[in-house]
Amino acid sequence: MIGLYWGDDKPSDCNLFLKPFVEEVKILHSKGFQLHGKSFTVQVSFFACDAVAKSYILKTKGHGAYSSCSKCTVSGKYECGRVTFPIKIGPLRNHDDFVNKVDTCYHHTDETSIIIEIPQLNVVQAFPLDYLHLICIGVVKK
């Protein structure tokens, strides 16, 4: 684990909050570091966060939105008091389309997440799905 955030409120600007981390990762990726005479470089593999934090960090629609699937472009529909998604999978999302904001219904703002500056990070693959919000709260009967 590289970091953990806990507080009464989320940071007011997640890009500003994440900037020191992103800048340090870029340096460690390009220049690396030495430990006990061995050279190492750093590559970020994934982020572990819930669906709410993921949409906040990536500046995308929240888990209850119609175009909120972070893995494919399927569109949800409103039924039984919630947004549901069909069994079939839509076209898969990819990193380049994310960076270029091809799906305008998926991105929340005109802002771009600073996360895309992390070298060799595939944003679509780096954020696993959130069991709590997708299954426990989203599917399991209340």
In a domain, residue 68? The reply is yes
In a domain, residue 3? The reply is no
Under DSSP, is residue 78 helix (H, G, I), strand (E, B) or coil?
strand
d(CA 121, CA 93): 14
pLDDT tens digits along 68-120: 889 999 888 888 887 888 777 889 999 999 999 999 899 977 889 999 999 99
* pLDDT at site 116: 97
pLDDT tens digits along 43-56: 999 999 888 899 99
In a domain, residue 8? The reply is no
Q: How far is CA 96 from CA 62, 64, 120, 121, 127, in A?
A: 21, 24, 12, 11, 15
In a domain, residue 91? The reply is yes
* pLDDT at site 3: 65
In a domain, residue 5? The reply is no
Number of domains in the chain: 1
In a domain, residue 117? The reply is yes
d(CA 78, CA 122): 30
Name which of 31, 37, 97, 41 is nearest 70 in CA terms.
97
* pLDDT at site 125: 96
- HSE-up of 76 (CA within 13 Å, CB side)? 21
Domain of 102 in residue numbering reads as 14-136
In a domain, residue 100? The reply is yes
Under DSSP, is residue 34 helix (H, G, I), strand (E, B) or coil?
strand
d(CA 27, CA 37): 19
- Tokens encoding 57: 């960090």
In a domain, residue 2? The reply is no
